[in-house]
Amino acid sequence: MSKPGPGGHVPIERIDDCRWRIPMSARADMRVEGIVYADDALMEHIRNDPCLTQVANVATLPGIVRASLAMPDIHWGYGFCIGGVAATDPEQGGVISPGGVGYDINCGVRLIRSDLTESEVRPRLETLVNDLFARVPCGVGGHGRYKFDRHELKKLLSRGSSFVLGLDLGTAEDHAATEAGGVLPDADADAVSDRAYERGKDQCGTLGSGNHFLEVQVVDEVFYPEAATVLGLAKGTVTVMIHSGSRGLGYQVCEDFLKVLRDAPKRYGIELPDRQLVCAPVHSNEGQRYLAAMRAAANFAWCNRQIMTHLTRQSFAHVFGKPADQLGMKLVYDVCHNIAKFEPYEIDGRTVNLCVHRKGATRAFPPGHPEIPEPYRAIGQPVLIPGDMGRASYVLVGQAGAMAETFGSTCHGAGRMMSRTAAIKSARGRSIQKELAARGVIARARGRTGLDEEQPDAYKDVNDVTRVVEQAGISRRVCRLRPIGVIKG
């Protein structure tokens, strides 16, 4: 997947301090404008990136509504930019595009809180990180301790996290604190290929590689005390953040359907500016089959993160000599950021069920939304935004502006500024592990490049990214989480 040249030829106009417009005149075939959320400093990094071309390209998709959107963590991806949001209307020829979901279907983040304080954890931190590293499988192609035969996998792909909860790998509270209850209905396990089954049979409960991580953190600053109290987060307490997705199974589903849909645009008379935007009408047989397989892969991802939650609790219980529930280890929330969902929105005075693509973007429903679990409904949906392993991550809550502007969406992370190849080159002659240790972060990885390619300098500053989405009124910062221990592939 080669990256094209600079995208600086795409015209972009300032709307206000945190919004920019790509006008429909940027391409003759744009159906809507492009909107990018960024401040001046972030736009300096974005302006000459080919991701802006991708925002304009997405605006040409049949049935797209309102605008092609990009969050402040925007960077180049496959077809859609990472940080891209697009909603299509199936009743107006709207399409589903695998590039708008991504290869790692339902890559997402979950946060576990505890009653432990940093002063209690610091003396045992190295022991804890080493135990987590030994207990939670990670790395390229990593194999887990939980293996499922095809019959079991079919149940898992259909039922989502309720399947592994039925194996005593979590609690009923975990189910309630997971987006969509950890399952997308209408998943079809039979739409998943034999190769995907083979890749997934021993990868459920594994972290993977790349930007996936398990991180021990401390609540470093609280910005919205009322919401923090509802979420069970207090300054100085320890949390665990897990970032992973559907592993090889989800990757294979994407790979398979990029081939299945390759000729669909021609069959349905769809002209595309980029073949990576391959798509099919939502109501077509091809579109429905991809959606059914994508939902199955999403269900796998929720099971994956649930098993790792169970392993994390085991690790803490072992190191601190108390059951996890006595340590207060409760799931705060789990959100996904590579997915397509059908959600109702008001369009031109009528309610329309839209197909919302979130590619490296997180759902951010506002206070009062019926899909938010009851304990959180008054404050808004929890939003989990990982940064880099040397600075911080954030907890936010959704705001009303997200429903009005971004189809209930916000950013999903800090966003890369440096390619993995460039990051590895930049790390030559340095020890990223020692640099992190100097910041008080104990890090473990399967190979040297795991830390090198994910070094803090490779990412935008998450403080800047979250400030933009708060200023735009689409999500509100609750607290900042400082890393103290990291495991990566």
CA atoms lying within 13 Å on the CB side of residue 170: 27
Angstrom distance (rounded) from CA 396 to CA 381:
8
The active-site residue out of 75, 175, 243, 412 is 412
Pairing of strands 475-488, 442-445: parallel
- Tokens 């403080």 belong to which residue? 463
Residue 248 belongs to what H/E stretch? helix 247-260
Q: What is the pLDDT of residue 3?
A: 53
- Tokens 């959600």 belong to which residue? 343
- Phi-psi label, residue 186: left if phi above 0, alpha if psi -120 to 50, beta otherwise: left
- Phi-psi label, residue 140: left if phi above 0, alpha if psi -120 to 50, beta otherwise: beta
DSSP, res 416:
B
Average pLDDT, the chain: 95
Question: Quick count: other Cβ atoms within 10 Å of Cβ 344?
Answer: 9
Q: What is the pLDDT of residue 5?
A: 46
Q: What is the pLDDT of residue 447?
A: 72
Angstrom distance (rounded) from CA 104 to CA 248:
8
- Span 13-488: which CATH code? 3.90.1860.10
DSSP codes joined into one string, 4-66: ----TTS--EEEETTEEEE-GGGSTT-SSEEEEE--HHHHHHHTTSTHHHHHHHHTTSTTB-S
Catalytic site includes residue 412 = yes
User: Which backbone phi and psi does 117 adopt, to 5 degrees?
Assistant: -105, 165
Mean of pLDDT values over 130-159: 90
Model confidence pLDDT, tens digit, residues 266-318: 999 999 999 999 999 999 999 999 999 999 999 999 999 999 999 999 999 99
Residues 6+ apart with CB under 8 A from 55: 10, 22, 34, 36, 68, 69, 70, 74, 81, 84
Residues of the chain with pLDDT > 90: what percent?
89
Helices vs. strands in the chain: H and E counts, helices first? 17, 19
Model confidence pLDDT, tens digit, residues 238-269: 999 999 999 999 999 999 999 999 999 999 99
Angstrom distance (rounded) from CA 417 to CA 388:
11
Model confidence pLDDT, tens digit, residues 440-489: 999 999 876 889 988 888 899 999 999 999 999 999 999 999 999 999 97
Model confidence pLDDT, tens digit, residues 416-432: 888 889 988 998 989 99
Cα 92–98–101 angle (5° rounding)?
100
Q: Quick check: 445 and 424 in contact, CB under 8 A? A: no
The long-range contacts involving 23-27, CB below 8 angstroms and separated by at least 24 positions, are 24/59, 26/56, 27/56, 27/57, 27/59, 27/60, 27/273
Q: Which residues pair with 361 in a beta bridge?
A: 411
* Domain residue ranges of the chain, discontinuous segments joined by +: 13-488
Query: What's the maximum distance between 2 C-alpha atoms anywhere in the chain?
Result: 65
